[in-house]
């Protein structure tokens, strides 16, 4: 069974702080990685993708991928209370199957 392990389970940061999430996959066939965000009572929504080694920055969000170590991370700078949500990493190999991590719950305190 393909797996994506995510850490930490939960995270609390002050407003304006940096939040960081990590995922490690178990399958070298994974080629495509996404970060999703889920607010309470809603379905997850895609936040950003990363397919190549290195960093990808979109506004306050930076994703990092290291395919050699099968590690992907997400960093949110200047965190806002509206960033409080459940964050998932997702991975896909060459086929149609998309596998999600167990999620990290972020709480940003004013």
Window 71 to 90, contacts with another protein (CB under 8 A): 88, 90
What are the φ/ψ torsions at residue 72 (nearest 5 degrees)? -130, 145
Closest CB to another protein among 16 and 51? Answer: 51
Residue 40 near another protein by CB under 8 A: no
Is residue 43 involved in binding another protein (CB under 8 A)?
A: yes
Is residue 49 a contact point for another protein (CB under 8 A)?
yes
| 107: its two tokens | 């709480």
Q: CB atoms < 10 A from the CB of 95, how many?
A: 7
Preceding amide of 8 cis, omega within 30: yes
Nearer to another protein, 18 or 98 (CB): 98
Contacting residues for 86 by C-beta, under 8 A, at least 6 apart:
37, 38, 39, 44, 103, 104, 105, 106
Answer yes or no whether residue 69 interacts with another protein by CB under 8 A: no
Under the rule (CB under 8 A), what is the footprint of another protein? 1-2, 6, 9, 32, 34, 41-46, 49, 51, 88, 90, 92, 96-103
């Amino acid at each position: 069974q393909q797996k994506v392990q995510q850490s930490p389970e939960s995270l609390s940061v002050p407003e304006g702080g940096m939040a960081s999430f990590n995922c490690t996959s178990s399958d070298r066939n994974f080629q495509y990685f996404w970060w999703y965000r889920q607010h309470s009572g809603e379905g997850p929504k895609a936040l950003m993708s990363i397919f190549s080694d290195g960093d990808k920055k979109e506004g306050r969000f930076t994703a990092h991928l290291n395919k050699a170590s099968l590690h992907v991370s997400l960093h949110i700078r200047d965190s806002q209370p509206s960033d409080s949500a459940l964050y998932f990493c997702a991975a896909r190999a060459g086929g149609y199957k998309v596998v999600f991590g167990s999620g990290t719950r972020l709480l940003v305190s004013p």
